Amino acid sequence: MSRPRIGIPVDLDEGAGRHEIGRGYADAVLQAGGLPILLPPAPEAARDYLAACDGLLVAGGAFDIAPERYGETRRAARLGPTRPARTDFEWAMAEAALGAGVPVLGVCGGMQLLNVVRGGTLHQHLPDDLGADHEQAAPKDVPSHLVEIEPGTLLARLVGEEPLPVNSTHHQAVSRPGAGVRVSARAPDGVVEALEVPGLPFALGVQWHPEAAGRHEPRHLAIYRGLVDAARGGRR
């Protein structure tokens, strides 16, 4: 049986004239039995892209979603740079995937995007909003804290219900969950670490980077296997 095709929207570095994405995402999809398909930004082609894919992976990046996208004004002095073109594209892809029931996984900023697409909001800067610091020092792949997993969730079925050690490389997080979104894991300080949309075949977001932390805790790799398995099942 051929590998399920997992679309991964990539970034556009206009100054360098190239598309790029961290290789760890594609490597994890391959390791999980999928075929990574890199998708250059083109919101108008989102549905055509999706028709060529069996699943979608929305990756993270060193940028923030503009607060205007979730109905707020900029109030955090340390709000990071935004990438409107990438956000527009990922929004179009995620919205189409959720609407069509195509399996989708959001990682780090990708999880935040899934929440905003569903009408939720974000903490613009965790130290300001909650007094929490979730930007760990290097090395970034080594787990630095535990998350408590909600029993009976999709995440629990994938990695088990025992607390999971995760890495932490973000300064924003989910504030108000979007419509139909269930929080499936939290950090000890209450920060949302995972969410999902019950009722869809596979719609999961994690705030950490399982493709990196999997080197130290094999349970993380089940997240990518879950995406690939759901994509394979949907194709049948």
Helix axes 84-100, 109-117, angle to 10 degrees: 60
Tokens linked to 178? 């979007």
Tokens linked to 145? 């804290």
Short-list 189, 195, 63, 194, CA closest to 129: 189
Of residues 108, 134, 145, 193, which has the active-site annotation?
108
Of residues 134, 170, 171, 209, which has the active-site annotation?
209
Quickly count: other Cβ atoms within 10 Å of residue 162's Cβ.
10
For residue 90, CA distances in Å to 32, 60, 84 come to 22, 11, 10
171/80 Cα distance (integer angstroms): 9
Residue 36, C-beta contacts closer than 8 angstroms, at least 6 positions apart: 6, 8, 25, 26, 29, 30, 57
Of residues 134, 171, 211, 220, which has the active-site annotation?
211
Whether 108 is catalytic: yes
What one-character DSSP code corresponds to residue 32?
T
Catalytic annotation, residues: 108, 209, 211
